[in-house]
Amino acid sequence: MDSTGRFLLSLVTAATFLQVRSTVTVIGLYGETIEVPCNNGAAKPVDLIFTKWKYKMDDGTSGDLLVKQAHKEQAQIQAMDGYKDRVTIAANSSLMIQGGSLVDQRTFTCMVVYGSNLDEHPVDVLVHKKPLPPQIKDKAKELENGKLTSLGVCTAADANPAAVIMWSKNGKLLVADGKTIIITPSVKMDPSTGLSTTTSGLQYTAVKSDVGAKFTCTAKHSLETQVSAPETFIIHYPTEKLSLQVLAKAPIREGDNVTLKCNADGNPPPTSFYFSIKGQKVTVKDSDTFTLTAVTRNSTGDYKCSLVDDDKMEASEKVVVSYLDLSLSPTGKVLKMVRDTLLVKMEQDASGDAKVSWTKDNRKLDETPRFDNVTYADAGFYVCEVSVAGIKRSQSFQLVVEGTPVIKKMTEHHSEDGRHKVLTCEAEGVPRPSVQWSVNGTNEENSYINGKATHKITVVPTGNLTITCIATNKLGNHFMALNVSSLIKDEKIPGKGAQDDSSDQALLIVFIVVGLIIAAAFVGLFYWLYIMKSRRGTWKTGEKEAGTSEESKKLEECNAKV
């Protein structure tokens, strides 16, 4: 018998050899068709006459259900009660009971009549039903730390046999100890259906670590073990530790808003706190924060918070406000005369070690600038920058150096062609001096670089001249004279030095003589070539004559110079 179908078949009482009949138990499902096999589903005897199903009625007597003659197609229903419409017989002689319910939990007997024999096969039928999914009801709103509280009631309804309920916390079975955990189980049977509802009340003593713990109940049943949806509970416990938090970006600077937050580890958290602000007690209700707006260096100190109902529970935190004051003298635009003294004074007051740096026109200086004797080069934009953790301040001054013009240099040069003179006058001074020569010239050039004004003109002096250069600005003027000699006189200078050049002239004579000898040699060579060529008649006379006349001219020139 391999095809028991959806039906559970088990041998409750082993057949004894002494007894012909063996009692078999079959478990059917509530609400479904129950198959009651005849003789464990054994094959029908060949000489079968008829099969009959009987049942044990509520009063203990036997009632007939149906009879199936071996040679007939249809079985004859004999039942008069509720079974009349619910029973049929399968081809393999199994009794099929539709819409199984708990009333079907009784003994059915299959009677097989064949040849001259009669066998009876009684079967005990049980009807099982799994409970509805278990549910936790009457849940506690919150659990008090250390207090035994009714957490909830778990219900597994309408089962047969009754389900068994167990409680778990985070998947771990809770075992009743009669003190911190009390479990009250109960089973009630519905008299109309006969189904049982199991309930289990859990009384539980919560501890702080039960925050977030998942409580479940499990309904254990032969057909299926089901677990309820998990439940978590709010657990109330008193504050054990207080901490004060400073909510501000570090470092805290003057002008920042600093929020103090008092954190209590109790549940529910306290709704009011005391904040101790510089020795003053402030009560804060419905909040755990207190904000210090625009703190100053005077705000530096210890801050405290405590519980309103237990001021021994206290936390404190230090608040340090960084600050930096910088005062620079002078600032803004500073006007100084050359060679003046400028005193630079920088004062700073900071909450920590301040870093000071100076720049002049964006270039870093190695030290604080000192001006005992101001020069034009000192002019510039000076920035002093001071910083401590998180704070940076800078101040600056623009140093302007002024002075009356001073002529630094006057020069005269020959122009490249030797026919002019270039006069240059250089004068220092701020504001820009106007530089002029006392004569008019051409190719006038002016420049003003780093406080130095340059004026350049080209002149043609006709005689010895005394020329003045004058440099003028709003602060004063400066002039200087320059003796400029005439160009004619200048050309004579090499003539004067002729005796010095006598050795050069001797060298020139030597060159000319050597040149004449070479020329004579060439003349000889040409004459010979002419003789040779004229025999062939190809030389032109004009060319030769021109060459000779040129040579003689050169010769004459040389002789004249010597």
Q: What is the DSSP letter of 377?
A: G
Residue 481 vs 525, nearer CB to ligand NAG: 481
Residue 492 vs 553, nearer CB to ligand NAG: 492
Which residues share a beta bridge with 459?
Answer: 421
Q: Does 541 bind ligand NAG (CB under 6 A)?
A: no
Q: Side by side, which strands form the sheet with 34-36?
A: 34-36, 95-97, 87-89
Number of helices and strands (H, E) in the chain? Answer: 3, 42
Where helices occur in 239-332 by DSSP H, the ranges are none
Q: Give dist(CA 395, CA 346) in Å, integer.
A: 9
Taking CB under 6 A as the binding criterion, the range among 349-357, 400-408, 462-470, 523-531 that sits at the site for ligand NAG is 462-470
Nearest-10 crossing angle of helices 541-561, 502-534: 160
**Do 194 and 160 meet the contact criterion of CB atoms below 8 Å apart?**
yes
Q: Does 320 bind ligand NAG (CB under 6 A)?
A: no
In the set 16, 19, 209, 293, which binds ligand NAG (CB under 6 A)?
A: 293
The residue to which tokens 């005849």 are assigned? 38
Burial 273-291, CB ≥16 within 10 A → b, else e:
bbbbbeeeeeebeeebebe
In the set 440, 442, 499, 503, which binds ligand NAG (CB under 6 A)?
A: 440
- E strand residue ranges, 170-271: 172-173, 181-189, 196-205, 215-220, 226-227, 234-236, 242-247, 252-253, 258-264
Residue 32 vs 256, nearer CB to ligand NAG: 256
In angstroms, give the least distance from the CB of 92 to ligand NAG: 4
Residues 229-258 that bind ligand NAG (CB under 6 A): 256-257
Rg (CA), the chain: 65
Q: Give dist(CA 35, CA 9) in Å, integer.
A: 10
Q: Side by side, which strands form the sheet with 148-159?
A: 135-137, 148-159, 196-205, 181-189
Taking CB under 6 A as the binding criterion, the range among 86-94, 138-146, 218-226, 345-353 that sits at the site for ligand NAG is 86-94
Q: Does 94 bind ligand NAG (CB under 6 A)?
A: yes
Q: Please state the φ and ψ torsions of residue 209, each to the nearest 5 degrees.
A: -70, -5
Cβ–Cβ contacts within 10 Å for residue 11, how many? 11
Q: Give dist(CA 328, CA 336) in Å, integer.
A: 17
In the set 186, 232, 298, 329, which binds ligand NAG (CB under 6 A)?
A: 298
Q: What's the one-letter identity of residue 377?
A: A
In the set 72, 241, 318, 339, which binds ligand NAG (CB under 6 A)?
A: 339
Q: Does 90 bind ligand NAG (CB under 6 A)?
A: yes
Taking CB under 6 A as the binding criterion, the range among 1-9, 56-64, 227-235, 512-520 that sits at the site for ligand NAG is 1-9
Residue number, nearest CB to ligand NAG = 41
Q: Pairing state of beta strands 95-97 and 34-36? A: antiparallel
Residue 37 vs 131, nearer CB to ligand NAG: 37
In angstroms, give the least distance from the CB of 346 to ligand NAG: 21
Task: State the distance between the two ends of the chain, measured CA to CA, in whole angstroms.
Answer: 158
In angstroms, give the least distance from the CB of 311 to ligand NAG: 28
Q: Does 10 bind ligand NAG (CB under 6 A)?
A: no
Taking CB under 6 A as the binding criterion, the range among 70-78, 88-96, 386-394, 507-515 that sits at the site for ligand NAG is 88-96
Residue 59 vs 73, nearer CB to ligand NAG: 73
Tokens of 61: 């007597």
- E strand residue ranges, 30-171: 34-36, 48-56, 62-69, 76-77, 87-89, 95-97, 107-114, 117-128, 135-137, 142-144, 148-159, 164-169
**Do 89 and 110 meet the contact criterion of CB atoms below 8 Å apart?**
no
The residue to which tokens 């060439």 are assigned? 522
Q: Give dist(CA 35, CA 93) in Å, integer.
A: 10
Taking CB under 6 A as the binding criterion, the range among 218-226, 295-303, 360-368, 530-538 that sits at the site for ligand NAG is 295-303
Taking CB under 6 A as the binding criterion, the range among 102-110, 199-207, 221-229, 289-297 that sits at the site for ligand NAG is 289-297
The H or E element that residue 156 is part of is strand 148-159
Q: Concatenate the DSSP letters of all residues of 438-457 into one string.
A: SS--EEEEEEEETTEEEEEE
Residue 481 vs 531, nearer CB to ligand NAG: 481
In angstroms, give the least distance from the CB of 409 to ligand NAG: 13
Q: What would the x/- binding string for ligand NAG be over residues 30 to 69, using CB under 6 A? A: -----x-x---x----------------------------
Q: Does 464 bind ligand NAG (CB under 6 A)?
A: yes
In the set 19, 209, 450, 466, which binds ligand NAG (CB under 6 A)?
A: 466
Residue 174 vs 410, nearer CB to ligand NAG: 410
In angstroms, give the least distance from the CB of 509 to ligand NAG: 32
In the set 137, 489, 492, 533, which binds ligand NAG (CB under 6 A)?
A: 489
Q: What would the x/- binding string for ligand NAG be over residues 112 to 151, using CB under 6 A? A: ----------------------------------------
In the set 92, 245, 359, 395, which binds ligand NAG (CB under 6 A)?
A: 92
Q: Give dist(CA 250, CA 348) in Å, integer.
A: 22
Residue 419 vs 489, nearer CB to ligand NAG: 489
Residues that bind ligand NAG (CB under 6 A): 1, 3, 5, 35, 37, 41, 90-92, 94, 256-257, 293, 296-298, 339, 373, 439-440, 463-464, 466, 481, 483, 485-486, 489
